[in-house]
Structure 1
Amino acid sequence: MEPETHERKDARRNREAVIEAALAILPDDPNASMATIAERSGLGRTTVYRHFPARSDLILALFERVIEEAREVTSSVIEEGRPTTETLRALGPAIITIPDRFRFLHGVRELGEGVINRSTTDPNQPVRHFVEAAQHRGDIDPGLPTQWIVSTINALAIATATEMNEGRLSVDDAGRILGETMVRAFATRR
Structure 2
Amino acid sequence: MDTDAPTGARARTRRAILDAAVEVLAKNPAASLADIAAAAGVGRTTIHRYFPERSDLMTGISAYFLERIETATMRARLDEGTADAALERLCQEYFELGGVLTFAFENPQMQDWTDWETETESDKALERLIERGHAEGSIDASLPAGWVADVLWSLLYSAWQYSRLREQPKHTSLSLCLRTLRKTIGTE
TM over 0.5: yes
1:23 offset after TM fit, Å?
1.0
Count of residue pairs brought into register by the alignment: 177
- In structure 1, what is the equivalent of residue 92 of structure 2? 93
Partner of residue 128, structure 1: 127
Structure 1 residue 128: Cα displacement: 1.9
2:183 is matched with 184
Report the counterpart of residue 76 of structure 1 in structure 2.
75
- Supply the distance in 2 between the matched residues of 1:123 and 1:177 (Cα, whole angstroms): 28
Q: CA deviation at 1:99?
A: 0.7
Q: For 1:69 and 1:21, locate their aligned partners in 2 and report how far apart those are by CA, in whole Å.
A: 15
The 1-side partners of 2:121 and 2:50 are apart by 33
Identity %: 15
Match of 1:47 in 2: 49
Please say if residues 83 and 132 of structure 2, whose CA atoms lie closer than 8 Å, have aligned partners that are also in contact: no
Going from structure 1 to structure 2, the CA distance change for 1:188 and 1:60 (only over 3 Å counts) comes to farther
Q: 1:109 aligns with which of 96, 100, 107?
A: 107
CA distance in 2, matches of 1:57, 1:99: 23
Residues 48/158 of structure 1: CA separation in 2 closer, same or farther (3 Å cut): same
Secondary structure at the counterpart of residue 27 of structure 1: helix
Aligned to 2:139: 140
Q: In structure 1, what residue type is equivalent to 2:91?
A: G
**1:23 partnered with 2:23:** no
Cα drift, residue 80 of structure 1: 6.4
Flag structure 2 segments of 5+ consecutive residues without an equivalent.
Answer: none
Give the secondary structure class of the aligned counterpart of 2:132: helix
> CA contact under 8 A between 1:21 and 1:38: conserved in structure 2?
yes
* Contiguous gaps of at least 5 residues in structure 1: 1-6
Highest RCO, 1 vs 2 (Cα 8 Å, sep ≥ 6): 1
**Greater displacement, 179-188 / 82-91:** 82-91
**Cα shift readout 1:7-30 (whole Å, capped 9, x = no counterpart):** 853x86779844532314653784
Question: Which stretch shifts more, 177-186 or 72-81?
Answer: 72-81
Tell me how far apart the structure 2 counterparts of residues 174 and 84 of structure 1 sit (CA, whole Å).
Answer: 22
Partners of 1:182 and 1:16 lie apart in 2 by: 35
2-side partners of 1:164 and 1:157: how far apart?
11
Tell me by how many angstroms 1:73 deviates.
Answer: 1.5
Supply the RMSD in Å over aligned alpha carbons. 3.6
Gap change, CA 1:24 and 1:75, over 3 Å in 2: same
Conservation of the 8 A alpha-carbon contact between 2:78 and 2:87: no
